[in-house]
Amino acid sequence: MNEYDYIIVGAGSAGSVLANRLSENEKNSVLVLEAGGSDCSFWVQLPIGYGKTFHDERFNWKYTTEPDPGLNGNRIYWPRGKVMGGSSSINAMVYVRGHPLDYDDWAKVAPGWGWSDVAPIFRKVEDWAGGADGVRGEGGPLHVHDISNEVHGLTRTYLTAAKQAGIRFNLDYNGEYMEGASLYQITTRNGRRESTSRSYLRPALRRRNLDLQLEAHVTRVLFEGRQASGVEFTQGGEKKTAKAKREVILCGGAINSPQLLQLSGVGPESLLRNLGIPVVQASPEVGRNLMDHLGFGHHYKANVPTLNQDLNSVLGKLRAGLQYLLRRSGPLSLSLNQGGGFVRIDTNADRPDTQLYFSPCSFTSAPVGTRPVMTLDPFKGFMIGFNPCKPTSAGHLRIRSADPFETPEMHANYLATEYDCRIMLAGSKLLRKIARSPALDAAIELEIPVATSAMQDDELLSFIRENASTVFHQCGTCRMGTDASANVVDARLRVHGVHGLRVADASVFPTIPTGNINAPAIMVGEKAAEITLEDAHS
């Protein structure tokens, strides 16, 4: 069978949701094409295992940006999920809805995406361990775990230090109020990673009308005139095609979806003509508006116990392993990011402008042979980090050739505005303020490197440019909006200028949300399913 009602490209955070929802009606035949393989890996299912999958080409596209002028010409590594569940199978599992004003901003350009529209969808998604309260949801497909009783003692020291620095504690940043220092909520269930593969896709695979094809790399959307009629893909070295009776829905994420559109003739006209690609629809914004959260951290050597000893020593590994095997608990069942929160550095801001991260361990990402790995430091250490929530710099991506297997150019354009530089400086100073509070100061032996504590603003900004890195929140490259000249998809996620083709993933975000983007991407999958089914019956 090579003809289906719906073809979904990508079994990731949004694609898995769509696969589940569209196949609920047995009359709909659904094909999901995933370029990666199965998520049946110990390191994928083990929550802390993302340190292993971070550079594993079996599960990861392993992208690298072009040299970035704002980061002293450095290239930045961008891991993206290439596996069932997509990036929800390799991320740090932190669950953040975003701020209500983020979605009210979306609704200004894409009606129907305001907070009042999407809040019920978040509740529908969630199985929040804290229970439903009118704001949070319970009983949804995605379990959101409360780690309050499991965090390392040093994480509670961080919360005390934040309070001493003037940041109040917030029990639930996904609740009525977002601002404050918090313990992060994570997407795990019974000590295992709760990806969208586990929560949405695998339960749906029992249905006879859902067909999942793995290691199926889609190379082109096929058109009959301006009607998307199917896709071309490569599997097992063989070129294949599949026909779509209703729609093709791209769920490849912020890199792969715009790449596939351009390869298929939807994109900047001059780029496509120069590469010899027939233009189906001139769409100059495909690949533009590339947004990301740029992070920076402070690294400390501690004089108190940290997770480094628990995960480095033979005895510590044995203890952690037994905790996990016997009770599905302990450090192996958690994320390295245990604490954090959201603050307003600019008191005039209408929402938090800075996100905080605290890890009761420290690590260095260093090359080992030709394969970089994340290695815990051999000493007692911890890290505090941050990222500006609403950066104003934007980049772009574009294909290099008509070869679908060639990685596109990715230009992040970090720290290109005065605002972004100013917030980065202020965020670094806030971290130092937290570290100097009595609670954490007593736990610190020294800051690494020591010299940063005496830097002037110009020196500190230069140091940030040299050492900052992504927190893996790329989005916006197929931005949605009603104005076809300035956006790629409309408010119903239909690609402007063609028929039978939608995009549903983080690439459609008009602006970057306040916080981690996996929960918003899952929400987009749910709303896309609702819209698609509505349009099918209109």
- Residue showing tokens 């109020």: 177
DSSP label at residue 240:
E
Q: How far apart are CA 332 and CA 316, in angstroms?
A: 11
Rg from Cα positions in the chain: 22
End-to-end CA distance of the chain: 27
Judge whether 139 and 412 are in contact, CB under 8 Å: no
Judge whether 299 and 450 are in contact, CB under 8 Å: no
Beta bridge partner(s), residue 302 = 444
Helix (H/G/I), strand (E/B), else coil: 88: helix
Choose, from 293, 473, 496, 537, the residue flagged as catalytic.
Answer: 473
Judge whether 130 and 136 are in contact, CB under 8 Å: yes
Classify strands 126-128 and 142-144 as parallel, antiparallel or unpaired.
parallel
Whole-angstrom CA distances from 17 to 8, 272, 361, 461, 476 are 10, 32, 34, 41, 19
Q: Which two tokens stand for residue 508?
A: 């459609």
Pick the closest to residue 128 from 84, 97, 169, 92 (CA basis). 97
Q: Which two tokens stand for residue 242?
A: 């599949």
Which H/E stretch holds residue 216?
A: strand 216-224
Classify strands 339-343 and 354-359 as parallel, antiparallel or unpaired.
antiparallel
Q: How far apart are CA 432 and CA 130, in angstroms?
A: 33
Judge whether 187 and 142 are in contact, CB under 8 Å: yes
The verdict on whether 55 is a catalytic residue reads: no
Name every residue whose Cβ is closer than 8 Å to that of residue 360 and which is 6 or more positions away in sequence.
151, 152, 153, 154, 155, 158, 306, 307, 338, 382
Please count the other Cβ atoms lying within 10 Å of the Cβ belonging to residue 459: 12
Q: Which two tokens stand for residue 125?
A: 């998604």
DSSP label at residue 226:
T
Q: How far apart are CA 251 and CA 10, in angstroms?
A: 5
Judge whether 357 and 384 are in contact, CB under 8 Å: yes
Name every residue whose Cβ is closer than 8 Å to that of residue 184 and which is 6 or more positions away in sequence.
94, 95, 147, 335, 337, 338, 339, 340
Helix (H/G/I), strand (E/B), else coil: 33: strand
Residues that are catalytic:
473
